[in-house]
Amino acid sequence: MKLLVCVSKTPDTTTKVSFTDGDTAFDTQGVQYIMNPYDEWYALVRALELKESAGGTVTIINVGTADNDAIIRKGLAIGADDAIRVDAAGGSAYFVAKQIAEQAKAGSYDMVFFGKETIDYNGSQIGAMVSEMLDMPFISYATKMDMAGNTATIARDIEGGQEIVEVDTPFVLSAAKGLAEQRIPNMRGIMQAKRKPLNVVPAVAVDEKASIVSYALPPAKSDCRYVDAENMDELVALLHGEAKVI
Amino acid sequence: MAVTENGKATSHTPTTARVDRFRGHDYYNVDDLLETEHILVRDAVRDWVKQEVSPIIEDYSERAANPRHLVKGLAEIGAFGPSLPEKYGCGGMDEISYGLIMQELERGDSGVRSAASVQGSLVMYPIYRFGSEEQRMKYLPKLAAGEFIGCFGLTEPNHGSDPSGMLSNIKDDGDAYILNGAKMWITNSPIADVMVVWAKDEEGVIRGMILEKGMKGLSAPEIHGKWSLRASCTGELVFEDVRVPKANILPGVQGLKGPLSCLSKARYGIAWGVIGAAMDCYDSALRYSMERVQFGKPIAGFQLTQKKLAEMITEITKAQLLAWRLGTLANEGKATPAQISMAKRNNVQMALEVAREARQIHGGMGITNEYPCMRHMMNLETVLTYEGTHDIHLLITGMDVTGINAFK
Ligand SMILES: Cc1cc2nc3c(=O)[nH]c(=O)nc-3n(C[C@H](O)[C@H](O)[C@H](O)COP(=O)(O)OP(=O)(O)OC[C@H]3O[C@@H](n4cnc5c(N)ncnc54)[C@H](O)[C@@H]3O)c2cc1C
């Protein structure tokens, strides 16, 4: 089975977010990056488990510049066999989806894995776009997946319950919490990763269809106010007059 | 709160399992001097420590219990002998990676780092460096996999800083030697399967040998009552006519340079390791001082607190640069024992001072197990003393720069 896992780079969760260029760009100054946790902990690890039980190969793909090689190496250290980096400085979700679809077509994979979203832009778009471009079914927010032959049984979380989907390969899937458990790379994996192939390929030209106009931070949280438990009238007055929630 | 060890519930309820909010500190962008591989190594061990060590360490330390279940995880992640060749089940990594592993382990606890230091630098390294190929194949893969726990016996009850005066001795008895004597302060001796022991032959020459648990006449009583390195097991080794087959003698070395070259390796690891302990204390103090409000503002806003924090990060940064440069020299095979002594001495003292200052910043909370500072501080008292005391390393530097021996 040939498995493709799409991984992206996101700022560390403790990053203090700010913007530059008149609020049109994310300020990368001093930011520490990690592999998007949904890609790393769930998508990649589940793909590796499938390979370990049924054989095959796991390829990871990233669209980005050489700065991203560190997270790609981490993916290889965790256990992927090889990697593709489409050399591009980034772009819209559509741009990235086009690049991935191009490579996925060329490699004719049985499954293409995504994280359910990246923890920075939370777009959740690329998996769906790629499945459309590849003309494959897309199963999003997978929390459990079992394979029998070429058929996968996938549980996905839906509002207030679960949906169980059956799908034959090839398909595209996005991984949510529960699909697998984080694996910490070990020293041997890190050493092996140095010798695994990381193929850098040029990007294909794409007509951008959307662009970001501006970003804004959520309003700063105001101070916490303590009200004496005996003083319900004051609490009601504050909720009514200031917070305007009752 | 119930805590689990590798998924299994422990039989008792620990008093605390604090959330580990640690973030690394890199004031001088030392990361830019590192390679991708180094960062991967550091982050992997950091993640492992957060997952496996932080939730349990205060409890084990408080009970003076050895978190032996960590051995498997330490082996899996590759913390035992990471810089020895892959052929023996080891990592084949460079010295900077090794240093960073020690840093992250000691960020968790000096006792956990000690376990890895002893296993890798004091047991596996001499078997690799001075052992026969047969000895290497017999012991190294199992030590790397954590199937064997090792210990290193050099210090004796009456010979600590002066190991050349050791009394442990071997006498030729045909196909074996008969070993007599005693060792003291031996990390992991009560639980060790394999012991690298140093003793004098009939000519008074120091020889290294590999002992195995269960040999007749060999015992390893535990030393109790330590206020430091409480999550690490320490004991004696007592030899009463132990028959050591000649095949167990390390063929490749004679004299004090055998044990000293192992100590150089371990001291190198300590020079990195203690930066982890210092960073953990600084990190906790920085966060606490921003959150703790007195006289109407965070205590971080007072000049005296800022002096402490500023000096801490300055000293940590200097120690990081010292360790990085030492690591670079070690990778080139150029780090001298005296250079290693300087880094061990400087960085341990630095970490101890940072721990004490950080403890103060936490006020009364600083003496509890809600915060890591007091535990690190107590641990570091051992680190200041073992692997060559603070003063002995000063004498080594003194001798190196003057050429005059001030030991005797
Ligand atoms: C928890 C723990 C774990 C340990 N693990 C191991 C282990 O695994 N294997 C092992 O072999 N050893 C181990 N040690 C032993 C450790 O290396 C020794 O404690 C250390 O070398 C000091 O020896 P000592 O305790 O006998 O002190 P001493 O040598 O008696 O020193 C006492 C004091 O005298 C000072 N001093 C001694 N000589 C001089 C001099 N010439 N000039 C000036 N000052 C001097 C010292 O600096 C020190 O301050 C461990 C120790 C501890 C506490």
Backbone φ and ψ for A166, nearest 5 degrees, come out as: -115, 135
B80-to-A167, B51, B257 alpha-carbon distances in Å: 44, 19, 23
**Residue range B59-84: average pLDDT?**
97
Chain B residues touching residue A78 (CB < 8 angstroms): none
Asked whether the predicted pLDDT for residue B2 surpasses 50, the reply is no
Residues of chain A with a CB closer than 8 angstroms to some CB in chain B: 14, 69-70, 73-74, 77, 182, 184-188, 190-191, 193-194
End-to-end Cα distance, chain A: 57
Q: Which residues of B touch A190 (CB under 8 A)?
A: 37, 40-41, 44, 78, 93
What are the distances in angstroms from CA B343 to CA A91, B85, B269, B394? 47, 26, 10, 11
- Contact at CB, A184 and B44, closer than 8 angstroms: yes
Q: Which residues of chain A have pLDDT under 50?
A: none
State the distance from the centre of ligand 1 to the C-alpha of B85, rounded, in angstroms: 31
Q: Known catalytic residues of B?
A: 387
Q: Does B23 touch chain A (CB under 8 A)?
A: yes
A65 within 8 A of A52, measured Cβ to Cβ: no
Tokens of residue A82, six digits: 């090889």
Report H helices in B216-302.
257-291
CB contact under 8 A, A191 and B86: yes
pTM score, whole prediction:
0.91
Alpha carbon separation from B260 to B130, B152, B346 (Å, rounded): 13, 12, 19
Q: Which residues of A touch B144 (CB under 8 A)?
A: none
CB B208 within 8 A of CB B249: yes
Q: According to the 3-state scheme, what is the secondary structure of B70-132?
A: HHHHHHHHCCCCCCCCHHHCCCCCCHHHHHHHHHHHHHHCHHHHHHHHHHHHHHHHHHHHHCC
Structure tokens at A44: 């990649």
- Per-residue model confidence (pLDDT) at position B17: 58
pLDDT at B4 over 50: no
Q: Which atom of ligand 1 is nearest to the CA of B159?
A: 26
Band (B132; pLDDT cuts 50, 70, 90) = very high
Structure tokens at B61: 């330390």
Q: Pairing state of beta strands A57-64 and A2-6? A: parallel
Closest CA relative to residue B352, chosen from B122, B188, B106: B106
Residue B3 is predicted with a pLDDT of 40
Spatial separation of the C-alpha atoms in residues B369 and B360, rounded to whole Å: 14
Q: Which helix (H) or strand (E) holds A44?
A: none
Structure-block tokens of residue A204: 């294909």
CA-B406 nearest atom, ligand 1: 41
Neighbours of B62 (CB within 10 A): 15
H or E stretch including B341?
Answer: helix B337-361
Residue B75, Ramachandran bin (φ over 0: left; ψ between -120 and 50: alpha; else beta): alpha
Give A41's contacts in chain B (Cβ within 8 Å).
none
* 8 A C-beta contact, residue A6 and residue A113: yes
Question: What whole-number distance in Å separates Cα of residue B390 and Cα of residue B91?
Answer: 31
Mind listing the pLDDT tens digit for each residue in B96-119? 999 999 999 999 999 999 999 999
Kindly state if the Cβ of B385 falls inside 6 Å of ligand 1: yes
What's the CA-to-centroid distance between B116 and ligand 1, angstroms?
20
In this structure, the residue with its CA closest to atom 50 of ligand 1 is B185
Contact A190 B82 (CB under 8 A): no
Computed over its alpha carbons, how large is the radius of gyration of chain B?
Answer: 21
Do the Cβ atoms of A74 and A58 come closer than 8 Å?
no
For residue B49, give the chain A residue with the closest CA: A184
* Ligand 1 touching residue B153 (CB < 6 A): yes
- CB-based contacts of B345, cutoff 8 Å, min separation 6: B390, B393, B394, B397
Separation CA B73–CA B106 (nearest Å): 15
What spatial distance separates the first Cα and last Cα of chain B, rounded to whole Å?
55
Give CA–CA dist B197/B183, Å, rounded: 9
Q: Is B77 on the interface with A (CB under 8 A)?
A: yes
pLDDT confidence bin for B5, thresholds 50/70/90: very low
Chain B nearest CA to A192, separation (Å)? 10
Q: Of B326, B166, B350, B398, which is closest to residue B260 (Cα–Cα)?
A: B166
The answer for residues whose C-beta is within 8 angstroms of residue A66's C-beta and 6 or more apart is: A85, A87, A200
DSSP state of B156: B
Contact B53, B20 (CB under 8 A): no
Our CA dihedral for B294, B295, B298, B301, rounded to 10 degrees, sits at -130
- pLDDT at residue B9 in the model: 40
Measured CA distances, B117 to B85, B212, B222, B397 (Å)? 17, 19, 19, 23
Q: Which two tokens stand for residue B71?
A: 């051995």
Residue B207, φ and ψ in degrees, nearest 5? -125, 150
pLDDT, residue B303, reads 98
| C-alpha to C-alpha distance for B251 and B249, rounded to whole angstroms | 6
Whole-number pLDDT of residue B10: 42
Answer for the pair A140, A116: CB distance below 8 angstroms, yes or no: yes
pLDDT of residue A228: 87
Which DSSP state fits B262? H
- Which amino acid does the sequence have at B249? I
Regarding the beta carbon of B198 and ligand 1, being less than 6 Å apart is answered no
> pLDDT exceeding 90 applies to what percent of chain B?
95
Say what the ipTM of the complex is. 0.86
Q: What is the mean pLDDT of residues B248-266?
A: 96
Could you tell me which chain B residue has the CA closest to the CA of A30? B29
State the Cα–Cα distance between residues A95 and A176, nearest whole angstrom: 23
A73, B37: Cβ pair inside 8 Å? yes
Of the residues B23, B36, B98, the best mutation for testing chain A's interface (the one with the most A CB atoms within 10 Å of its CB) is: B36
Q: Which residue in B36, B47, B91 is closest to A70 by CB distance?
A: B36
**Binding site membership of B234 for ligand 1 (Cβ less than 6 Å):** yes
Neighbours of B347 (CB within 10 A): 27
Pairing of strands B176-187, B194-200: unpaired
Q: Is B52 helix (H, G, I), strand (E, B) or coil?
A: helix
DSSP H helical segments within chain A, as ranges?
37, 45-54, 69-78, 93-107, 126-134, 187-195, 232-241
Instruction: Please provide the average confidence, as pLDDT, over all residues in chain B.
Output: 95
Residue pair B90/B142 in contact by the 8 Å Cβ criterion: no
DSSP assigned state of A62: E
- DSSP state letter for B365: G
> Residue A129's closest CA among A92, A157, A170?
A92
Residue with structure tokens 């086009």? Answer: A98
Torsion of CA B69, B74, B75, B80, to 10 degrees: -130
CB atoms within 10 A of CB A133: 17
Q: Are A113 and A5 in contact (CB under 8 A)?
A: yes
**Chain A environment of B97 (Cβ under 8 Å):** 187
Distance B392 CA to ligand 1 centre (A): 9
Average pLDDT over residues B179-204: 98
pLDDT at res. B313: 98
Q: Do B40 and A73 touch (CB under 8 A)?
A: yes
Kindly give, in sequence order, each residue whose CB lies less than 8 Å from that of residue B203, ignoring residues fewer than 6 positions away: none
Which amino acid residue places its CA nearest to atom 19 of ligand 1? B386
Nearest CA in chain B to A69: B36
* All residues at 6 or more sequence positions from B161 whose CB lies less than 8 Å from its CB, including other chains: B388, B389, B392
Domains of chain A with CATH codes: 2-216 (3.40.50.620)
Span B272-287, pLDDT tens digits:
999 999 999 999 999 9
User: Sorting pLDDT into bands at 50, 70 and 90, what band is B6?
Assistant: very low
**Cβ B383 under 6 angstroms from ligand 1:** no
Interchain pair B37, A69: CB under 8 A: no
Q: How many CB atoms lie within 10 A of CB A215?
A: 15
Residue that has been written with the tokens 């066999």 in this structure: A81
Q: Which of A70, A184, A191 sits opposite B92 (nearest CB)?
A: A191
